[in-house]
């Protein structure tokens, strides 16, 4: 078997050693139920509150604004169900969790060719609809494009909108000054930044209503009952602490890796295009359209070579569907089917980038010759 090169870090990232260590510590026999008043219970409570402070520092919010969840999906779902009576304003191709929990009327905001929302169209929609709930991903998981969140919040507030921002693909991939909370709600998943899977948080603005995630024993400010996932929360805090210590260097290094990768792909594949290349993007993500090649076929061949990537065009049933996000940017259905996402992490190396780019060019050229340039 070939050695693995993980270029699918927008799906999930490897857990760091320091995170594993924190989780193991949190599973020690001396750690009890964090709701218990004895020493073992208080040891668990201390781990949770330390993690809450670490997450808050990473996201530049107050610790008491944080409700720990199983991830961004749970937070998104709770907020949208809480505000289901309002019209939902979002974008084509939004993550299913930014749509699924809302059962009322929905309207899409237009995006430009880079995938950034059209602020004029956004304001026109708000003028027509009035108070509504706006649900956006801060960073598009397919292209890495960063939405103009500050402007969205400023315009939205003028029209009484409730604003939910999914920052799962943004934390640890954008400068820290991009965070804070100007919206009503922000959601985060730990596993997108080298933390454990199955844990994240909902950040609630000072003037926002607290949605009920689960009733019962009253944990997490009475909004998400149930005994807390102490090891997961401790790992989440450790991931934030680790990333915060090296964030500036990490961002610079990942950008250099991504740019090196894209230069090599463009040099080796004259029929390919990097989507949204000139846009403001998170440093991790490359969306590559290999015109005339079936993306699923290329991803399958790369998998046999040990290169992990995503052909982000399969719906939940497994039936191939063109990416709605890419088609909203003006890509044809054929080009959407020919697009693959690659994403680096803090653990990606230069040697891996060079090896992957060479293999991708070789396999894409092979398929291009077989398919005759027509997917």
Q: What is the C-alpha separation between 301 and 193, in angstroms, rounded?
A: 28
Give 46-96 pLDDT, tens digit per residue.
999 999 999 999 999 999 999 999 999 999 999 999 998 899 999 988 888
CATH number of the domain enclosing 158: 3.40.640.10
pLDDT of residue 317: 42
Expressed as residue numbers, the domain containing 152 is: 17-243
Shared domain for 90 and 219, answered yes or no, is yes
Distance (Å, rounded) from C-alpha 55 to C-alpha 201? 9
Q: For the chain, which ranges sit under pLDDT 50?
A: 313-317, 375
Radius of gyration from C-alpha coordinates of the chain:
21
What integer pLDDT is reported at residue 374 of this predicted model?
A: 52
Shared domain check, 147 and 93? yes
Residue 3, pLDDT score: 85
- For residues 185 and 291, membership in a common domain is answered with no
Residue 276: which residues within 8 A CB-CB, separation 6 or more? 114, 115, 143, 144, 145, 287, 329
pLDDT of residue 372: 59
Mean model confidence pLDDT for the chain: 92
Q: Among candidates 185, 255, 278, which has minimal Cα distance to 223?
A: 185
Q: Which residues contact 352 (CB under 8 A, 6 or more apart)?
A: 5
- Whole-number Cα distances in Å, 217 to 108, 222, 223, 347, 350: 38, 7, 10, 40, 49
Write down the residue that tokens 């995938």 correspond to.
Answer: 115
* pLDDT per position as a tens digit, 360-374: 999 999 998 886 555
Q: Are 258 and 235 found together in one domain?
A: no
Predicted local distance difference test score (pLDDT) of residue 316: 44
Q: How many domains would you assign to the chain?
A: 2
The single residue of 132, 153, 309, 315 carrying the catalytic annotation is 315
The answer to whether residues 52 and 175 belong to one domain is yes
Are both 357 and 298 inside the same structural domain?
yes
Whole-number Å distance between alpha carbons of 187 and 72: 5
For residues 170 and 30, membership in a common domain is answered with: yes
Is residue 43 domain-shared with residue 107, that is, in the same domain? yes
Distance spanning both ends of the chain, measured CA to CA: 29
315 a catalytic residue: yes
HSE on the CB side for 29, CA within 13 Å? 0
Q: In this structure, are 226 and 261 located in the same domain?
A: no
Query: Considering 243, 274, 289, which residue would you say is the last residue of a domain?
Result: 243
- If asked whether residues 367 and 252 sit together in one domain, one would say yes
CATH number for the domain spanning 358: value is 3.90.1150.10
Domain termination site, one of 228, 243, 258? 243
């Amino acid at each position: 078997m070939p050695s693995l090169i993980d270029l699918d870090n927008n799906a999930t990232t490897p857990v760091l050693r320091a995170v594993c260590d924190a989780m193991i510590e949190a599973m020690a026999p001396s750690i009890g139920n964090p709701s218990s008043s004895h020493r073992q219970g208080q040891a668990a409570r201390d781990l949770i509150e330390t993690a809450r402070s670490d997450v808050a520092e990473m996201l530049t919010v107050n610790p008491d604004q944080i409700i720990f969840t199983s991830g961004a999906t749970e937070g998104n779902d709770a907020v949208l169900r809480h505000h289901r009576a309002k019209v939902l304003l979002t974008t084509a191709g939004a993550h299913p969790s930014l749509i699924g929990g809302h059962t009322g009327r929905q309207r899409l905001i237009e995006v430009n060719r880079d995938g950034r929302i059209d602020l004029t169209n956004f304001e026109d929609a708000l003028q027509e609809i009035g108070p509504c709930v706006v649900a956006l991903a801060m960073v598009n998981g397919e292209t890495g494009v960063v939405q103009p969140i500050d402007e969205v919040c400023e315009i939205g507030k003028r029209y009484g909108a409730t604003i939910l921002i999914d920052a799962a693909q943004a934390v640890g991939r954008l400068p820290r000054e991009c965070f804070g909370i100007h919206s009503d709600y922000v959601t985060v998943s730990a596993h997108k930044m080298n933390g454990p899977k199955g844990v994240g948080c909902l950040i609630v603005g000072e003037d926002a209503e607290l949605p009920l995630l689960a009733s019962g024993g009253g944990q997490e400010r009475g909004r998400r009952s149930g005994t807390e996932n102490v090891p997961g929360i401790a790992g989440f805090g450790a991931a934030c602490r680790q990333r915060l210590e090296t964030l500036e260097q990490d961002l610079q290094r990942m950008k250099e890796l991504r740019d090196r990768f894209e230069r090599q792909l463009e040099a080796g594949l004259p029929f390919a295009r990097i989507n949204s290349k000139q846009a403001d993007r998170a440093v991790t993500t490359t969306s590559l359209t290999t015109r005339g090649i079936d993306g699923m076929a290329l991803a399958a061949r790369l998998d046999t070579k040990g290169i992990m990537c995503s052909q982000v065009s399969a719906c939940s049933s497994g039936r191939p569907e063109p990416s709605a996000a890419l088609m909203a940017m003006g890509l044809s259905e054929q080009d959407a089917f020919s697009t693959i996402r690659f994403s680096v992490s803090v653990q990606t190396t230069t040697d891996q980038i060079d090896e992957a780019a060479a293999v991708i060019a070789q396999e894409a050229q092979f398929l291009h010759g077989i398919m005759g340039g027509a997917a």
